[in-house]
Amino acid sequence: VPEVEKVRRQNKRGQGLRLREDIVAAAAALLEETGSEDAITLRGLARKVGVSAPAIYGHFGDVDEILAAVVSEAFDELDTALRAAERAAEDPSEGAAEPRTAVRAVCAAYLDFARRRPQRYRVMFGRHRTHEGGAMTDRRPAGALLGAAAFDRLLGAVARTTGHPSAASRPGADTFTDATALWVALHGYASLRASVPAFPWPEDDTMLETLIGRLLDGKPSPAAGRP
Amino acid sequence: VPEVEKVRRQNKRGQGLRLREDIVAAAAALLEETGSEDAITLRGLARKVGVSAPAIYGHFGDVDEILAAVVSEAFDELDTALRAAERAAEDPSEGAAEPRTAVRAVCAAYLDFARRRPQRYRVMFGRHRTHEGGAMTDRRPAGALLGAAAFDRLLGAVARTTGHPSAASRPGADTFTDATALWVALHGYASLRASVPAFPWPEDDTMLETLIGRLLDGKPSPAAGRP
DNA sequence: TGTACATCAGTGAACGCGCGTTCACTGATGTAC
DNA sequence: TGTACATCAGTGAACGCGCGTTCACTGATGTAC
């Protein structure tokens, strides 16, 4: 028997790789529907996909692997959304109509994602990662970097407006600190807005104007109409 | 048999009300140890307290009630910590050494609480409350207001420095917006710091100086040492 | 002070359930000849 | 083109486990007389 290159066999009746996708999609749906990670069970997913429970072991060894796939996919989605928002904001005038337009667009897209996929957003950023194993096991490098991709979008948008006049008045500012402060505020707002809906939150636009104005441009509150 | 006022019977051998406390304490410990709410089970708690499982029904009808008690207790603790920090900051000079001292102290205490009780903090603010039942069921008014108590501490500290010179330069500012922006940033930092430990976070003091300076005083970045 | 009794916090056995996981299997798909 | 066979994705029955919850009970505590 000569050594033969293993060839990917054609998917059986459309299934095959599709089952994997179906499982991840079902997990995401289950998460958003129930609002709880522990509603995601092997048997529950199998039921939802319409397959027997052991069939899942062909694609995932673990229910945690499935949740990890959901999270990974969600991070891709977030990155795509931020990218699209940035492109759309920069597109029409080619130059810079207003210095903060792109930053504002990216931030708005971030908040929009968190609102559209609340449970996925919560799992992406709301789970405490205990650095299991002392100093730096680096067992899940991808997991640690996932959030960084979204941050880099934000950082890029902020950096691209550094040369603008509004930045000149803030000689001590540095881009990384700016982006960090902005991310922290965005996440805080997105998270609390979902957790404490009873709070009298302002509109997204108002909140964004406040945060960007103060954190990046050193401007005071956007004249909320108080005497 | 005449109507008799029901008198609280003396606790049996030190138990009685103590079991209830023990259950809540065990739940809090289990939450912090395992980092997961669904590690809190009736049987697990009974085991940890050293009591049979049905004994818990005498004090709680539900495992969710126990978690609610943990959260309620944690909110009390947070409020106490913020109160203490504020008092300590205002105590020595009786006047105002520096306008933002009290605000900074309250913020630092907030971050400290989130760091000392990470899982409880996560459950307090990280769980999405779906407004189940349309518009305003108001079924859990206490739950909705719990976060507001901590916010009021922050609001008070901010309000008490409004008359200071630093506020005069920001005519458009209003206290509520200030406190909201600050809370959002504090929570975002506390939450992300725990979720994404791999990120190069600054020291708490530096972060606080940045956030308070920009959000409340309109100052740029704290001269992070860049040319 | 002493005895009989009501109270009630907690027990221990038992139940049914959904879960993860295993195992031998089935049956359609694509391939060798 | 036709037949025999290897492959392998998915099946169905079965298991042991920990869970929430029920039930009749026990035994110490405090009270009535």
In the three-class reduction of DSSP (H, G, I as helix; E, B as strand; rest coil), residue A15 is classed as: coil
The answer to whether B153 and A183 have CB atoms below 8 angstroms apart is: no
Q: Considering chain A, what is the average pLDDT of its residues?
A: 83
**DSSP line for A32-74:** HHH--GGG--HHHHHHHHTS-GGGGGGT-SSHHHHHHHHHHHH
Dihedral Cα A211, B78, A197, A218, nearest 10 deg: -10
CA→C1' distance for B9 and C20 (Å): 46
The answer to whether A70 and B163 have CB atoms below 8 angstroms apart is: no
How much is the pLDDT for B90? Answer: 79
Amino acid identity at B220: P
User: For A126-144, how does the pLDDT look when each residue is reduced to its tens digit (9 = 90+)?
Assistant: 887 754 433 333 344 444 5
- All residue ranges of chain B with pLDDT < 70 are 1-16, 91-97, 130-144, 162-173, 220-227
How much is the pLDDT for B98? Answer: 76
Determine whether B89 is exposed, middle or buried from the number of CB atoms within 10 Å of its CB (0-12, 13-18, 19+): buried
Of B130, B197, B218, the CB nearest to A35: B130
Give pTM, 2 decimals. 0.87
* Across A158-183, average pLDDT: 76
Report the distance separating Cα A137 and Cα B197, nearest Å: 13
Q: Would the pLDDT of A100 be above 80?
A: yes
Residue A188 makes CB contacts below 8 A (sequence gap 6+) with B183, B184, B185, B186, B187, B188, B189, B191
pLDDT, greater one: B219 or A86: A86
Of B148, B173, B207, the CB nearest to A221: B173
User: For B33-72, how does the pLDDT look when each residue is reduced to its tens digit (9 = 90+)?
Assistant: 999 999 999 999 999 999 999 999 999 999 999 999 999 9
User: With an 8 Å Cβ cutoff, are A210 and B177 in contact?
Assistant: yes
Determine whether A153 is exposed, middle or buried from the number of CB atoms within 10 Å of its CB (0-12, 13-18, 19+): buried
User: With an 8 Å Cβ cutoff, are A224 and B172 in contact?
Assistant: yes
How much is the pLDDT for A5? Answer: 36
User: For A177-226, how does the pLDDT look when each residue is reduced to its tens digit (9 = 90+)?
Assistant: 999 999 999 999 999 999 999 999 999 999 999 999 999 987 765 444 33
Residue A69 makes CB contacts below 8 A (sequence gap 6+) with A24, A27, A60
Report the distance separating Cα B131 and Cα B133, nearest Å: 6
A180 close contact with B: CB closer than 8 A: yes
How much is the pLDDT for A216? Answer: 93
